[in-house]
Structure 1
Amino acid sequence: MEPLARVEALLGSRPGKVIAVHLNYPSRAAQRGRTPDQPSYFLKPSTSLSPSGESIERPYGCELLAFEGEIALIIGTRARRVHPDAAWAAVESVTAGNDFGVYDLRWADKGSNVRSKGGDGFTPIGPALIPADQVDPRALRVRTWVNDELVQEDTTADLLFPFEQLIADLSQLMTLEPGDVILTGTPAGSTVVQPADVVEVEVDTEGWSTGRLVTPVVAGAVPFASYGAGPVADDAQRAEAWGSAEAAGVSAPLPLVEGSPTPLIEGSRSDRLETSTEDVVPITTGTLSPELRAKLASVGTATLSAQLRKRGLNTVSIDGVTPTKPGQHMIGLARTLRFIPAREDLSQQFGAGFTAQKRAFDSLNAGDVLVVEARGERGTGTVGDLLALRAQVRGAAGIVTDGGVRDFAVVSELDIPVFHAGAHPAVLGRRHVPWETDVTVACGGTAVQPGDVIVGDADGVIVIPPSLVEEVVDDAIEQERQERFIGQQIEAGASVDGLYPMNQDWLAKYREWTP
């Protein structure tokens, strides 16, 4: 037998496309708890390819780098609209692959996997290329080792989507060209690896082997800059990355939302498409530290508004909303929901089932404030007792809607703060269609983006850009300290002339008064 070709020549010519399949092994589908009816895919950049022996860097600040041992197909001839019966002839060779991903970055991808799986070296392949015409595509085996311990082993005998189907399906829409790489899915057993671990993958069949594809893991040393999305990890992502909540050492996450290939941050109607759910993840907008939350709780929205105005931000109040009961105070990070005007055909298509409205409430995390764009329409309800209760159970910090609230008496008895434009008995469909979640919305006359800081009290609701919150709250604390001093002087009989605002004499006295 001739010595097998090695992958270095292929990598030197820079393949044009790297296409990866989401779910293909029954063992992995069982682990994920879903079995797709048809294959779905994502693209990886060709710069993610690397040879055996080259290390992969776990990005600085990330904890959830996971491997996925796979069989990689190398296209040898141009293929467009090929039938499954002729598809295998388009494959030149078979090799081992590893579809590495960083779960800490999935939240920023909207299902594309660009950041989570597109890093340099995130797709090692090799080392040897097995001629495709010498093997049976249904008789291949893939195995993965971590530090010499076997962690994955499966065969292609009962794939959800045979390799011929994948090639035929992809060629319906795109031309497969020589050198293109198709990653064909991973079996159960994928989990998290750490710096200093070594991951090895081998593909073999009777008489043939790729040899072991070796990838050492190293720690990254360069932090992400502030001009791009950084890593965010929560228990749901830990459970996904490790393979189970038990393996991750966390409590079992709530069921993932089905029916969408993207996270619940939506910029379009893709959350209503019937496609694969491999990359559906709960959305995390970040967290407010206990120290920052305490600072925000110590000042009023009136003071925060004054500080924002000093910085040129005048349209940051959500106008026309009041709390369901007096004394409610709300601090959290914005998640958003948008309704469009009711139209009969759209209401019928998108107004029933697990709608965008229900998904928004069902995906709230601790500390989130759901901000609802209802166009100021008060002639129907936008939230009722059950969804408000769901938000409370999820640990949300509040709800803000510039529309109506149903079941007002019951909602008012809940602990969760709800700021609204009025009570109304009608159901949502009278005036609205639930449309999309976690996009920029207009609520009460101001723009709100996911991740904005939302603060509400008796004076109203304020939106603070997260980049400004630290300086705004610190200056607000100082402002209220000065106002306490001024109040004491007025109580003692001082005139407001020169005191409010303070002239230099009063400022000197204030500095002496300040502890």
Structure 2
Amino acid sequence: MTVSHEILQILENTAVATISTVLRQKGFNRVALHGPRAVTEGQKRIAGPAFTMRFVPAREDMTTALAVNGPTSPRAVLEKIPAGAVVVVDAMGLRSAGVFGDIISARMQMRGVAGLVTDGAIRDLVGMKKLEWPIWADGTTAPPSPSEFFCADTEVAVACGGVTIFPGDIVVADDDGAIVVPAAMAEAVATEAYEKDRFEEWVYDQVKGGALLDGLYPPNDATKERYAKEKQ
């Protein structure tokens, strides 16, 4: 299912914490990824369809040349990733090698890929930070990917950070972490989450101004009416 650019823009402008609350209210509790976190604090929030990559542990008969230049290698695959996609790498939570370094990431950035989310580690941290390309990973390390990993599949269902992610699911990530929104629910979640985000910003300003929480959060009818008037 294709999610419109307008819906993706709404999700990109909505806090992941708010999206998480809306998904929970809809009965989805296993959608927040455990492990991936923003490599650089304050990096741009992203929202885009998942392009999935499934890494498996390297084995002796998987030659270095195949891992580096084979048909499922990152070098080959990255040229097929659509602009605006979020690359989701299932690294099984292993941090003994970096899934990508700065050069592979620079190429993805130049192709318009929105960002990277992985439950593994990255390498070349200094170069990665210079890119200012949004990355969520579970740490950093020095060894290169072929020393530990082999990319077995792309565009298949993966388990990243303990969450099932299908190709085309919408991944949203910010300083609070990364979350997956099933594509079929993206429009409904975006609409509710965006409005909830705006309301909570208003409530935050009220509290900072000295307001009490009783009747404000959660709102009673009087608060809802006042918010509606001020929003207009």
**Fold agreement, TM-score > 0.5:** yes
Match for residue 53 of structure 2 among 337, 349, 353:
337
Match for residue 450 of structure 1 among 162, 167, 172:
167
2:184 paired residue number: 467
Give CA-to-partner distance per residue, 1:133-154, whole Å, 9 cap, x none: xxxxxxxxxxxxxxxxxxxxxx
Say which SS state the counterpart of residue 389 (structure 1) adopts.
helix
Q: Is the contact made by 1:453 and 1:464 (CA closer than 8 Å) also made in structure 2?
A: yes
Alignment partner of 1:327 is 2:42: yes
Q: Is the contact made by 1:324 and 1:419 (CA closer than 8 Å) also made in structure 2?
A: yes
Q: In percent, how many aligned pairs have the same letter?
A: 36
The CA distance in 2 between the partners of 1:323 and 1:487, in whole Å, is: 24
Match for residue 388 of structure 1 among 97, 102, 105:
105
2:151 paired residue number: 434
The Cα RMSD (Å) is: 1.9
Paired residues for 1:369-388 under 5 Å = 369-388=86-105
Give CA-to-partner distance per residue, 1:322-342, whole Å, 9 cap, x none: 223222221211101111122
How many residue pairs were aligned?
Answer: 230
Q: Is the contact made by 1:350 and 1:434 (CA closer than 8 Å) also made in structure 2?
A: no
2:223 paired residue number: 506
Residues 1:287 and 1:465: Cα distance change in structure 2 (over 3 Å): closer
Q: TM-score, normalised by structure 2?
A: 0.91
Q: Higher helix proportion, which one?
A: 2
The CA distance in 2 between the partners of 1:484 and 1:424, in whole Å, is: 38
1:304 paired residue number: 19
Say which SS state the counterpart of residue 61 (structure 2) adopts.
helix
Return 5+ residue gaps in structure 1 as ranges.
Answer: 1-228, 230-285
Q: Is the contact made by 1:375 and 1:403 (CA closer than 8 Å) also made in structure 2?
A: yes
Cα displacement (A) at 1:488: 2.9
Match for residue 482 of structure 1 among 177, 183, 199:
199
Cα displacement (A) at 1:391: 0.6
Residues 1:448 and 1:429: Cα distance change in structure 2 (over 3 Å): same
The CA distance in 2 between the partners of 1:398 and 1:428, in whole Å, is: 18
Greater length-normalized contact order (CA 8 Å, ≥ 6 residues apart): 2
Match for residue 346 of structure 1 among 62, 71, 78:
62
Q: What one-letter code is carried by the residue in structure 1 that aligns with 2:151?
A: P
Paired residues for 1:92-111 under 5 Å = none
2:133 paired residue number: 416
Q: What one-letter code is carried by the residue in structure 2 that aligns with 1:464?
A: V
Cα displacement (A) at 1:348: 5.8
Match for residue 401 of structure 1 among 99, 118, 124:
118
Cα displacement (A) at 1:347: 4.5
Q: Is the contact made by 2:50 and 2:86 (CA closer than 8 Å) also made in structure 1?
A: yes
Residues 1:348 and 1:490: Cα distance change in structure 2 (over 3 Å): closer
Q: Is the contact made by 2:66 and 2:73 (CA closer than 8 Å) also made in structure 1?
A: no
The CA distance in 1 between the partners of 2:218 and 2:63, in whole Å, is: 55
Q: Is the contact made by 2:64 and 2:146 (CA closer than 8 Å) also made in structure 1?
A: no
The CA distance in 2 between the partners of 1:348 and 1:493, in whole Å, is: 62
Cα displacement (A) at 1:287: 6.0
Q: Is the contact made by 1:440 and 1:448 (CA closer than 8 Å) also made in structure 2?
A: yes
Residues 1:348 and 1:324: Cα distance change in structure 2 (over 3 Å): closer
Return 5+ residue gaps in structure 2 as ranges.
Answer: none
Q: Higher strand proportion, which one?
A: 1
The CA distance in 1 between the partners of 2:80 and 2:9, in whole Å, is: 25
Q: What one-letter code is carried by the residue in structure 2 that aligns with 1:297?
A: E
Alignment partner of 1:292 is 2:7: yes
Deviates more, 1:432-441 or 1:340-349: 340-349
Q: Write out the 4+ residue segments of structure 1 that deviate beyond 3 Å after TM superposition.
A: 346-350
Q: What one-letter code is carried by the residue in structure 2 that aligns with 1:357?
A: S
Residues 1:330 and 1:504: Cα distance change in structure 2 (over 3 Å): same
Cα displacement (A) at 1:355: 4.3
